[in-house]
Amino acid sequence: MASSRTWFITGSSSGLGRQMVETALVNGERVVATLRTPEAISDLGAKYTEDQLLILKLDVSKRDEVVSAFESAKEAFGRVDIVFNNAGSGIVDEVENTPEELARWQFEVNFWGAWYVTVEAMKCFRETNTPIGGKLMHMSSMHGVNTFPEGGWYCATKFAAQAMVESLTKELDPAWNIKIVVLCPGFFKTPMVTNTHILEPLPAYAVNPQLPTILGRKALREGQVPTGDPVKLMNRIFELSKTDEHLFHVPLGVDAIGLFEARAKTLGCAAVGGVKWSEDLAF
């Protein structure tokens, strides 16, 4: 890749997306910042020139808009080197209580939107960037490997998107020189926590204030969730964007490491426990 690279960043309006935009620009990179409300980063548009920053309106759940955004990015800068697949949304609710339309909307953004961006990234890296390729940085979550109560639908979208991306890595021709990394951060101080849709609990759950879903809502509403520094996180991710080290899942944060370790232990125990149940099952 050239010393100054072009980033395509989704979900750039606030939180980690905006911080990634700022981090890339401060480090001399070119950025295509996409978001549903371009006016949200008008201050950055006034600060940087058109040959440094292109701001595009994009709803990742609309495939035609994703295709158009990539075309605009290539027209402006000639290529895209890094795709930061970050746009997402969250719902806090019991699995059985979530309205179907909200559950489906969660998938439209977190899964289908991520897929639309991934497909266009692959085309760009393979067809426009030959033979240099490019890097897809898929922003997942520690909850893409381990679930939590009241976050079933959010976790489902993250698990699904990670499975899709992991399968993709096994399909790509190495000659295309496409690198994919799945970023799994823990809690960081961003509007994502406060902007999450926290629905009222199902009455059957509400009668017991000690149930995990009730305690979880309370912690979120009262700001009891421990959080890390988003500036430090984006600086670390920027470092990751430049490494040639072979990585796939990258947990980021002490809490993320803890959930990875817990998941590994759970799966290890399941494998051991399943041995006797798997005996004599062959023809």
158 as an active site residue: the answer is yes
Look up residue 183 and give its amino acid.
L
Nearest alpha carbon to residue 157 among 64, 246, 88: 88
Choosing from 12, 116, 158, 241, which is the catalytic residue?
Answer: 158
DSSP structure class, residue 188:
B
* Cα gap 123→25, rounded to integer Å: 25
The helix/strand/coil state of 191 is helix
* Cα gap 228→181, rounded to integer Å: 21
205 as an active site residue: the answer is no
Nearest alpha carbon to residue 48 among 72, 70, 71, 24: 24
The helix/strand/coil state of 82 is strand
140 as an active site residue: the answer is yes
* Cα gap 213→210, rounded to integer Å: 8
Strands of the chain (E only): list them: 6-9, 30-35, 53-57, 82-85, 91-92, 134-139, 178-185, 197-198, 249-252
Nearest alpha carbon to residue 18 among 1, 42, 2: 42
Choosing from 12, 140, 141, 241, which is the catalytic residue?
Answer: 140
Choosing from 135, 154, 179, 241, which is the catalytic residue?
Answer: 154
From the centroid of its chain, how far is CA 250?
12
Active site residues: 140, 154, 158
